[in-house]
């Protein structure tokens, strides 16, 4: 008899594990609590305009297997993601500067603060140092650039000073560019599908049994044990274990509004993503997905990204690693409720700050493990 696998969640991770295990011969069922698939990456429409209710999602990868997989599901439209930052050089300035993110030395050289920045850059240590986010980033780019680009953005985004945050994710997120490369990413492949990512994830799930509107928690462990030979959980573990507050999360709310435009290709903000580090506005960035889709339609949707919403978007990686340890303990406790093997995968369940391509790679690794441990 075919081995049965239950998968909790139909985001990228659930979709890809579901597809790969179905292809390998398992009887798979994906259980999704909402009425739609796609998880955080999902796009929606407002008056016909594609926008992203969970924040800007740009697909980029350097992983050949992941690239081949998404290509096979229709994700092929090239895109080169460039981000701008609106910077006020002093608190009294009325005029802002629109600069590239990451900061580019050749743009900074044109600013009146350049002599100070240049002095600070000349006295940096050879390699970044420091355990907390602020110390690490100041040692990468100096105090002035840190204050202009990073300090207030980080405090708004995380609701706590950067000194309390781990330096671990700084290398992945922060850079000072000297080579003139303007794109945010350096990965070999970057895509943006014209209608958002939904069609791609739906293609992945096209041969997989999916049951929508079905929330599963640890209370269902006995039933899951009867229905399946193994379970893969991609849900947030404090939610799944019914102990909200056990893990710390940071969430955003996209305040999205429709605006008419004069011409079909019209856009109203400077870029798809414009960072707004200033404390003059409560949001961290504006997102206008139409820059990336290139949709020809007489309107656009602008979203202001408000930090601090009570949603599970970002794991909070503190310098002491306490939250990650709690997640590991929760995983152990959850597994003890089951008589069948339990696997944890994806961004929420493993409490990691990972991108879509990493979630897919995670899903591939878990599917391999399940196949090796349970057989087809």
Ligand X SMILES: Cc1cc2nc3c(=O)[nH]c(=O)nc-3n(C[C@H](O)[C@H](O)[C@H](O)COP(=O)(O)OP(=O)(O)OC[C@H]3O[C@@H](n4cnc5c(N)ncnc54)[C@H](O)[C@@H]3O)c2cc1C
Query: Please, what is the minimum distance in Å from the beta carbon of residue 135 to ligand X?
Result: 26
CA nearest 57: which of 373, 354, 366, 376? 354
Nearer to ligand X, 33 or 143 (CB): 33
Smallest gap from residue 332 Cβ to ligand X (A): 18
Residue 287: is it exposed, middle or buried by C-beta count within 10 angstroms (0-12/13-18/19+)? buried
Residue number, 145 or 287, with CB nearest to ligand X: 287
Tell me which residues touch ligand X (CB under 6 A).
8-14, 31-34, 39-41, 54-59, 215-217, 234-235, 239-240, 252, 313, 346-348, 354-357, 359
CB environment 66-83: b (16+ within 10 A), e (fewer): bbebbeebebeeebebeb
Q: Given the complex with ligand X, which of 144 and 166 has the nearer CB atom? A: 166
State in angstroms the smallest separation of the CB of 328 from ligand X.
17
* Closest to 195 measured CA to CA, from 80, 10, 43: 43
Is residue 190 a contact partner of residue 34, using CB atoms and an 8 Å limit?
no
Cα atoms found within 13 Å of the Cα of residue 210, Cβ hemisphere only: 26
φ/ψ of residue 312, rounded to 5: -95, 80
Q: How far is the CB of 88 from ligand X (least distance, A)?
A: 24
Least Å distance, CB 242 to ligand X, is 9
| φ and ψ of 229, to 5 deg | -95, -15
Cβ closest to ligand X, residue 111 vs residue 309: 309
Which of residues 108 and 349 has its CB atom nearest to ligand X in the complex?
349
Shortest Å distance, C-beta 1 to ligand X: 26
Least distance to ligand X from the beta carbon of 97, Å? 24
Q: Which is nearer to ligand X, 10 or 330 (CB)?
A: 10
Nearer to ligand X, 11 or 277 (CB): 11
């Amino acid at each position: 008899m075919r081995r049965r696998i239950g998968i909790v969640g139909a985001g990228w991770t659930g979709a890809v594990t579901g597809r790969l295990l179905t292809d390998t011969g398992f009887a798979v069922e994906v259980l999704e609590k909402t009425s739609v698939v796609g998880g955080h990456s999902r796009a929606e429409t407002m008056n016909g305009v594609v926008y992203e209710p969970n924040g800007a999602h740009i697909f980029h990868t350097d992983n050949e297997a992941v690239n081949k997989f998404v290509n096979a599901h229709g994700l092929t439209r090239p895109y080169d993601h460039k981000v701008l930052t609106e910077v006020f050089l002093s608190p009294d300035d009325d005029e802002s500067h629109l600069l590239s993110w990451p900061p580019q030395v050749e743009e900074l050289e044109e600013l009146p603060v350049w002599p100070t920045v240049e002095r600070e850059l000349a006295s940096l240590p050879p390699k970044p140092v420091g355990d907390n986010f602020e110390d690490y980033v100041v040692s990468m780019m100096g105090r002035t650039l840190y204050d202009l680009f990073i300090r207030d953005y980080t405090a708004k985004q995380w609701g706590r000073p950067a000194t309390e945050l781990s330096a671990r994710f700084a290398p992945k997120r922060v850079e000072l560019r000297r080579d003139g490369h303007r794109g945010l990413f350096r990965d070999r492949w970057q895509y943006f599908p014209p209608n958002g990512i939904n069609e791609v994830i739906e293609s992945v799930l096209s041969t997989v049994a999916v049951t929508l509107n079905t929330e599963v928690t640890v209370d269902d462990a006995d039933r899951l044990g009867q229905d399946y030979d193994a379970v893969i959980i991609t849900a947030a573990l404090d939610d799944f274990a019914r102990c909200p507050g056990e893990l710390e999360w940071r969430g955003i709310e996209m305040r999205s509004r429709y605006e008419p435009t004069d011409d079909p290709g019209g856009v109203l903000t400077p870029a798809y993503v414009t960072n707004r580090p200033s404390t003059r506005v409560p949001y961290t960035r504006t997102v206008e997905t139409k820059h990336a889709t290139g949709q020809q339609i007489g309107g656009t949707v602008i979203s202001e990204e408000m930090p601090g919403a009570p949603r599970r978007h970002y794991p909070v990686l503190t310098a002491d690693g306490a939250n990650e340890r709690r997640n590991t303990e929760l995983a152990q406790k959850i597994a003890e409720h089951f008589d069948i093997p339990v696997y944890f995968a994806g961004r929420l369940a493993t409490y990691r700050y990972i991108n879509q391509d990493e979630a897919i790679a995670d899903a591939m690794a878990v599917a391999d493990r399940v196949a090796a441990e349970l057989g087809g």
